[in-house]
Protein backbone atom coordinates (compact mmCIF):
# COMPACT_ATOMS: atom_id res chain seq x y z
CA UNK A 1 0.00 0.00 0.00
CA UNK A 2 1.26 3.46 -0.83
CA UNK A 3 0.13 6.20 1.54
CA UNK A 4 0.48 9.75 0.22
CA UNK A 5 -0.13 12.50 2.80
CA UNK A 6 -0.56 15.78 0.90
CA UNK A 7 -1.02 19.35 2.11
CA UNK A 8 -4.57 20.06 1.05
CA UNK A 9 -7.76 18.62 -0.37
CA UNK A 10 -7.03 20.46 -3.63
CA UNK A 11 -3.72 18.59 -3.96
CA UNK A 12 -5.52 15.30 -3.34
CA UNK A 13 -8.03 16.13 -6.10
CA UNK A 14 -5.29 17.14 -8.54
CA UNK A 15 -3.24 13.97 -7.98
CA UNK A 16 -6.33 11.74 -8.17
CA UNK A 17 -7.34 13.45 -11.44
CA UNK A 18 -3.77 13.06 -12.80
CA UNK A 19 -3.90 9.35 -12.00
CA UNK A 20 -7.28 8.81 -13.67
CA UNK A 21 -6.22 10.77 -16.76
CA UNK A 22 -2.91 8.88 -17.01
CA UNK A 23 -4.83 5.60 -17.06
CA UNK A 24 -7.29 6.80 -19.72
CA UNK A 25 -4.41 8.06 -21.89
CA UNK A 26 -2.62 4.73 -21.70
CA UNK A 27 -5.79 2.64 -21.96
CA UNK A 28 -8.55 4.48 -23.90
CA UNK A 29 -11.11 1.73 -23.18
CA UNK A 30 -10.39 1.87 -19.45
CA UNK A 31 -12.96 0.62 -16.97
CA UNK A 32 -13.31 3.10 -14.12
CA UNK A 33 -14.85 2.23 -10.77
CA UNK A 34 -16.51 5.29 -9.26
CA UNK A 35 -17.40 6.20 -5.70
CA UNK A 36 -19.99 8.85 -4.90
CA UNK A 37 -20.35 10.90 -1.70
CA UNK A 38 -18.61 14.19 -0.89
CA UNK A 39 -14.95 13.18 -1.01
CA UNK A 40 -14.52 12.57 -4.75
CA UNK A 41 -16.54 15.67 -5.75
CA UNK A 42 -13.39 17.83 -5.98
CA UNK A 43 -11.60 15.18 -8.07
CA UNK A 44 -14.57 14.90 -10.41
CA UNK A 45 -14.81 18.69 -10.69
CA UNK A 46 -11.11 18.76 -11.61
CA UNK A 47 -11.63 16.14 -14.35
CA UNK A 48 -14.58 18.11 -15.73
CA UNK A 49 -12.62 21.40 -15.63
CA UNK A 50 -9.75 19.81 -17.55
CA UNK A 51 -12.19 18.48 -20.16
CA UNK A 52 -13.72 21.94 -20.56
CA UNK A 53 -10.22 23.39 -20.89
CA UNK A 54 -9.54 20.92 -23.70
CA UNK A 55 -6.62 19.18 -21.97
CA UNK A 56 -8.38 15.93 -21.01
CA UNK A 57 -7.95 12.60 -22.76
CA UNK A 58 -10.86 11.20 -24.77
CA UNK A 59 -13.46 9.33 -22.72
CA UNK A 60 -15.16 7.96 -25.87
CA UNK A 61 -14.40 4.33 -25.03
CA UNK A 62 -14.36 4.52 -21.22
CA UNK A 63 -16.90 2.59 -19.19
CA UNK A 64 -17.79 3.22 -15.55
CA UNK A 65 -19.13 1.06 -12.75
CA UNK A 66 -20.55 2.55 -9.56
CA UNK A 67 -19.57 1.10 -6.21
CA UNK A 68 -23.06 1.12 -4.80
CA UNK A 69 -26.64 2.33 -5.08
CA UNK A 70 -29.45 3.08 -2.64
CA UNK A 71 -32.43 0.76 -2.54
CA UNK A 72 -35.95 2.15 -2.17
CA UNK A 73 -35.62 5.64 -3.63
CA UNK A 74 -38.30 6.65 -6.15
CA UNK A 75 -37.10 6.37 -9.80
CA UNK A 76 -35.15 9.46 -10.86
CA UNK A 77 -34.52 10.61 -7.26
CA UNK A 78 -31.73 13.24 -7.40
CA UNK A 79 -29.81 11.52 -4.57
CA UNK A 80 -29.70 8.14 -6.27
CA UNK A 81 -26.08 7.41 -7.06
CA UNK A 82 -26.95 7.03 -10.75
CA UNK A 83 -28.29 10.61 -10.81
CA UNK A 84 -25.44 11.89 -8.64
CA UNK A 85 -22.61 10.54 -10.78
CA UNK A 86 -24.29 11.77 -13.98
CA UNK A 87 -24.61 15.26 -12.50
CA UNK A 88 -21.12 15.40 -10.99
CA UNK A 89 -19.05 13.64 -13.62
CA UNK A 90 -20.17 11.32 -16.36
CA UNK A 91 -22.53 13.65 -18.28
CA UNK A 92 -19.80 16.26 -18.46
CA UNK A 93 -17.19 13.73 -19.56
CA UNK A 94 -19.54 12.65 -22.35
CA UNK A 95 -20.21 9.14 -21.03
CA UNK A 96 -23.73 8.11 -22.09
CA UNK A 97 -25.89 6.30 -19.49
CA UNK A 98 -25.38 2.94 -21.21
CA UNK A 99 -21.67 3.11 -20.35
CA UNK A 100 -22.30 3.92 -16.68
CA UNK A 101 -23.36 0.85 -14.70
CA UNK A 102 -24.78 0.35 -11.24
CA UNK A 103 -26.28 -2.54 -9.29
CA UNK A 104 -29.97 -2.47 -10.26
CA UNK A 105 -32.11 -1.43 -7.26
CA UNK A 106 -35.31 -2.31 -9.14
CA UNK A 107 -34.43 -6.02 -9.08
CA UNK A 108 -32.72 -6.57 -5.75
CA UNK A 109 -32.80 -10.41 -5.65
CA UNK A 110 -30.84 -10.75 -8.91
CA UNK A 111 -28.89 -7.47 -8.82
CA UNK A 112 -25.76 -8.76 -7.08
CA UNK A 113 -25.07 -11.70 -9.39
CA UNK A 114 -26.02 -9.64 -12.45
CA UNK A 115 -23.59 -6.87 -11.48
CA UNK A 116 -20.75 -9.33 -10.88
CA UNK A 117 -21.44 -10.77 -14.35
CA UNK A 118 -21.38 -7.27 -15.91
CA UNK A 119 -18.08 -6.49 -14.20
CA UNK A 120 -16.57 -9.75 -15.42
CA UNK A 121 -17.85 -9.19 -18.96
CA UNK A 122 -16.18 -5.75 -18.97
CA UNK A 123 -12.87 -7.40 -18.03
CA UNK A 124 -12.87 -6.01 -14.49
CA UNK A 125 -12.16 -2.55 -13.14
CA UNK A 126 -8.82 -0.93 -14.02
CA UNK A 127 -8.94 1.85 -11.44
CA UNK A 128 -11.34 1.95 -8.50
CA UNK A 129 -11.91 5.32 -6.80
CA UNK A 130 -12.84 4.81 -3.14
CA UNK A 131 -13.88 6.95 -0.20
CA UNK A 132 -13.98 5.78 3.41
CA UNK A 133 -16.77 6.06 5.95
CA UNK A 134 -16.17 7.54 9.39
CA UNK A 135 -16.87 4.01 10.70
CA UNK A 136 -14.29 2.52 8.32
CA UNK A 137 -16.78 1.32 5.72
CA UNK A 138 -15.64 0.80 2.17
CA UNK A 139 -18.32 1.21 -0.48
CA UNK A 140 -21.27 0.29 1.76
CA UNK A 141 -19.57 -2.65 3.40
CA UNK A 142 -20.23 -1.73 7.00
CA UNK A 143 -18.15 -3.07 9.93
CA UNK A 144 -18.58 -6.83 10.16
CA UNK A 145 -18.80 -7.32 6.37
CA UNK A 146 -17.06 -10.38 5.00
CA UNK A 147 -13.65 -9.53 3.61
CA UNK A 148 -14.41 -11.71 0.57
CA UNK A 149 -18.01 -10.55 -0.02
CA UNK A 150 -19.44 -9.90 -3.48
CA UNK A 151 -22.12 -7.44 -4.63
CA UNK A 152 -25.23 -7.81 -2.48
CA UNK A 153 -27.91 -6.12 -0.40
CA UNK A 154 -26.69 -4.49 2.82
CA UNK A 155 -28.22 -2.49 5.67
CA UNK A 156 -26.66 0.88 6.52
CA UNK A 157 -25.60 1.60 10.10
CA UNK A 158 -27.23 4.48 11.96
CA UNK A 159 -23.85 6.30 11.84
CA UNK A 160 -23.75 6.11 8.03
CA UNK A 161 -27.41 7.15 7.72
CA UNK A 162 -26.71 10.15 9.95
CA UNK A 163 -23.57 10.99 7.94
CA UNK A 164 -25.57 10.89 4.70
CA UNK A 165 -28.63 12.74 6.02
CA UNK A 166 -27.05 15.99 4.75
CA UNK A 167 -28.03 14.94 1.22
CA UNK A 168 -31.73 14.48 2.16
CA UNK A 169 -34.43 16.62 3.78
CA UNK A 170 -34.42 14.51 6.93
CA UNK A 171 -32.86 11.40 8.47
CA UNK A 172 -36.10 9.53 7.82
CA UNK A 173 -35.62 9.97 4.07
CA UNK A 174 -32.19 8.29 4.06
CA UNK A 175 -32.63 4.74 2.75
CA UNK A 176 -31.85 1.89 5.14
CA UNK A 177 -30.75 -0.48 2.40
CA UNK A 178 -28.21 -0.40 -0.39
CA UNK A 179 -26.73 -2.63 -3.05
CA UNK A 180 -22.96 -2.53 -2.79
CA UNK A 181 -19.95 -4.11 -4.36
CA UNK A 182 -18.45 -6.49 -1.84
CA UNK A 183 -14.97 -6.23 -0.40
CA UNK A 184 -14.01 -9.22 -2.55
CA UNK A 185 -15.39 -7.41 -5.59
CA UNK A 186 -13.34 -4.32 -4.80
CA UNK A 187 -10.18 -6.39 -4.31
CA UNK A 188 -10.49 -7.60 -7.93
CA UNK A 189 -9.93 -4.08 -9.32
CA UNK A 190 -6.40 -3.70 -10.64
CA UNK A 191 -5.63 -0.42 -8.84
CA UNK A 192 -7.40 0.95 -5.77
CA UNK A 193 -7.31 4.72 -5.23
CA UNK A 194 -8.68 5.64 -1.82
CA UNK A 195 -9.07 9.34 -1.15
CA UNK A 196 -9.87 10.87 2.22
CA UNK A 197 -10.00 14.48 3.35
CA UNK A 198 -10.90 16.17 6.62
CA UNK A 199 -10.40 15.42 10.30
CA UNK A 200 -13.58 13.37 10.44
CA UNK A 201 -11.81 10.63 8.49
CA UNK A 202 -8.53 10.62 10.45
CA UNK A 203 -9.43 7.83 12.85
CA UNK A 204 -10.89 5.55 10.19
CA UNK A 205 -7.86 6.14 7.93
CA UNK A 206 -5.43 5.25 10.75
CA UNK A 207 -7.40 2.07 11.52
CA UNK A 208 -7.51 1.08 7.84
CA UNK A 209 -3.84 1.78 7.09
CA UNK A 210 -2.06 0.97 10.35
CA UNK A 211 -4.56 -1.12 12.30
CA UNK A 212 -5.08 -4.86 12.03
CA UNK A 213 -6.74 -6.42 8.98
CA UNK A 214 -10.23 -6.87 10.33
CA UNK A 215 -13.86 -6.96 9.24
CA UNK A 216 -14.40 -4.45 12.06
CA UNK A 217 -12.65 -1.92 9.81
CA UNK A 218 -13.69 -2.96 6.29
CA UNK A 219 -11.30 -0.48 4.63
CA UNK A 220 -8.39 -2.40 6.20
CA UNK A 221 -8.95 -4.88 3.36
CA UNK A 222 -6.77 -2.54 1.27
CA UNK A 223 -3.83 -4.11 3.10
CA UNK A 224 -4.44 -7.27 1.04
CA UNK A 225 -4.31 -5.53 -2.34
CA UNK A 226 -1.11 -5.53 -4.39
CA UNK A 227 -1.69 -2.01 -5.77
CA UNK A 228 -3.51 0.32 -3.40
CA UNK A 229 -2.86 4.08 -3.19
CA UNK A 230 -4.21 6.18 -0.32
CA UNK A 231 -4.30 9.94 -0.95
CA UNK A 232 -4.85 12.08 2.15
CA UNK A 233 -4.97 15.72 3.07
CA UNK A 234 -3.19 16.86 6.23
CA UNK A 235 -6.29 16.48 8.42
CA UNK A 236 -7.13 12.98 7.25
CA UNK A 237 -3.48 11.95 7.78
CA UNK A 238 -3.29 13.50 11.26
CA UNK A 239 -3.71 10.24 13.22
CA UNK A 240 -1.16 8.20 11.28
CA UNK A 241 1.85 7.06 13.35
CA UNK A 242 4.13 6.80 10.29
CA UNK A 243 3.02 9.91 8.35
CA UNK A 244 6.57 11.31 8.18
CA UNK A 245 7.86 8.09 6.65
CA UNK A 246 5.08 8.06 4.03
CA UNK A 247 5.95 11.68 3.11
CA UNK A 248 9.64 10.82 2.79
CA UNK A 249 8.88 7.83 0.56
CA UNK A 250 6.62 9.88 -1.71
CA UNK A 251 9.07 12.80 -1.92
CA UNK A 252 11.83 10.40 -2.99
CA UNK A 253 9.87 8.68 -5.75
CA UNK A 254 11.12 8.95 -9.31
CA UNK A 255 8.67 10.82 -11.57
CA UNK A 256 8.29 7.90 -13.99
CA UNK A 257 6.87 5.68 -11.30
CA UNK A 258 3.52 7.43 -10.81
CA UNK A 259 1.14 5.94 -8.30
Q: For residue 79, which of 94, 89, 69 has the smallest C-alpha distance?
A: 69
* Residue 142 a catalytic site member: yes
Quote the least distance from Cβ 200 to ligand F6R, whole Å: 8
CA distance 21 to 27: 10
Check: CB of residue 210 under 8 Å from CB of residue 1. no
Q: Which of 21, 69, 116, 135 is catalytic?
A: 135
Quote the least distance from Cβ 18 to ligand F6R, whole Å: 20
The rounded radius of gyration (Å) of the Cα atoms in the chain is 17
* Residue 107 a catalytic site member: no
CA distance 193 to 23: 12
* Residue 68 a catalytic site member: yes
Q: Which of 88, 126, 142, 233 is catalytic?
A: 142
Q: Which of 21, 46, 68, 116 is catalytic?
A: 68
Question: For residues 139 and 217, which CB has a smaller minimum distance to ligand F6R in the complex?
Answer: 139
Q: Which of 101, 116, 126, 137 is catalytic?
A: 137
Residue nearest to ligand F6R (CB): 131
Binding residues (CB under 6 A) for ligand F6R: these are: 35-39, 67-68, 131-133, 137, 139-140
* Residue 135 a catalytic site member: yes
Check: CB of residue 160 under 8 Å from CB of residue 154. no
Quote the least distance from Cβ 257 to ligand F6R, whole Å: 27
Check: CB of residue 158 under 8 Å from CB of residue 142. no
- Sign of torsion over alpha carbons 71, 72, 73, 74: positive
Question: For residues 57 and 196, which CB has a smaller minimum distance to ligand F6R in the complex?
Answer: 196
H-state helical runs in the chain: 9-26, 41-52, 81-85, 91-93, 108-121, 158-164, 183-187, 202-210, 243-251
Quote the least distance from Cβ 58 to ligand F6R, whole Å: 25
Question: For residues 38 and 155, which CB has a smaller minimum distance to ligand F6R in the complex?
Answer: 38
Question: For residues 143 and 247, which CB has a smaller minimum distance to ligand F6R in the complex?
Answer: 143
Question: For residues 186 and 259, which CB has a smaller minimum distance to ligand F6R in the complex?
Answer: 186
Give the 3-state secondary structure of residue 180.
strand
Quote the least distance from Cβ 163 to ligand F6R, whole Å: 7
Q: What angle in degrees, to the nearest 10, is found between the helix axes of 9-26 and 41-52?
A: 60
What is the set of active-site residues? 68, 135, 137, 142
Amino acid sequence: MEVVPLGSAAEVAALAADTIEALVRSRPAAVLGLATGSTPVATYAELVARRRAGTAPSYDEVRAFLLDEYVGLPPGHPQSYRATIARELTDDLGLPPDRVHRPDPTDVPTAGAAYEAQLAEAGGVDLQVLGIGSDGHLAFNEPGSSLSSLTRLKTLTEETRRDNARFFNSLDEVPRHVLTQGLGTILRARHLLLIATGAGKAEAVAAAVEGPLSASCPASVLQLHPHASVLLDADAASRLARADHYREVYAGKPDWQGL
